[in-house]
């Protein structure tokens, strides 16, 4: 089987250096991270990392095994895409004078984006959705002059009862068991 894109979701200890260790693992083994997002969960001691990458079954299994070995990683899951909601946030700045404002506003409306900043020479729009929707929005706005854009990276959450279960690793520090 050839290289396929897949999404990893993991719960990690919310501590300094954890993201560095996770991303270094990818770099040392020559795996590319296509998208990365990190944020605190409902428990401030735990962060959720979502990584989009690609590889065959062997690569996918190797990445998961290596991540599971990291001290601060509580759980790692390859998300089942048919049971997962995937979204990305993007802000895009477009050169748009008064003569183009109506066309850009219409595009914002059609793509269900929203204008978050407006000056006499530019518009900043915010849009959330799947990668294909965001890419189509950029393509539509390109003739108006996209001057800057930023994307958050993919984030993913399971539908319904499908969720990332936290597994507390037992770790010994002196006499204390965490």
For the chain, domain boundaries: 4-79, 85-156
- Compute the chain's Rg from CA coordinates: 20
CA distances from 51 to 23, 60, 67, 104, 177 (A): 10, 12, 12, 32, 30
Please give the pLDDT value at position 176. 38
Please give the pLDDT value at position 72. 94
CATH of 4-79, picked from 2.60.40.10, 2.30.300.10, 3.30.70.260, 3.30.1600.10, is: 3.30.70.260
Please give the pLDDT value at position 68. 94
pLDDT average per 10 residues of sequence, the chain (178 residues)? 86 94 92 93 94 93 94 94 94 90 93 95 95 95 94 91 66 39
Please give the pLDDT value at position 165. 72
CATH topology match: 4-79 vs 85-156: yes
Please give the pLDDT value at position 45. 94
Tokens representing 116 are 């978050």
- Domain 85-156 CATH class label: alpha beta
């Amino acid at each position: 089987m050839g290289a396929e894109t897949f999404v990893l979701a993991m719960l990690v200890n919310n501590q300094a250096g954890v993201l560095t260790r996770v991303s270094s693992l990818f770099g040392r083994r020559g795996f590319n991270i296509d998208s990365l997002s990190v944020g605190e969960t409902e428990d401030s001691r735990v962060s959720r990392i979502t990584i989009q990458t690609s590889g065959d079954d062997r690569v996918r299994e190797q990445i998961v095994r290596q991540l599971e070995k990291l001290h601060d990683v509580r759980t790692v899951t390859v998300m089942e895409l048919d049971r997962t909601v995937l979204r990305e946030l993007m802000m895009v700045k477009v050169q748009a004078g008064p003569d183009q404002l109506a066309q850009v506003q219409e595009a914002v409306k059609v793509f269900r984006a929203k204008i978050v900043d407006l000056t006499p020479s530019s518009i900043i729009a915010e849009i959330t959705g799947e990668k294909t929707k965001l890419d189509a929005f950029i393509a539509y706005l390109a003739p108006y002059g996209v001057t800057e854009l930023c994307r958050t990276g993919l984030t993913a959450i399971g539908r319904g009862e499908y969720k990332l279960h936290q597994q507390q690793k037992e770790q010994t520090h002196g006499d204390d068991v965490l």
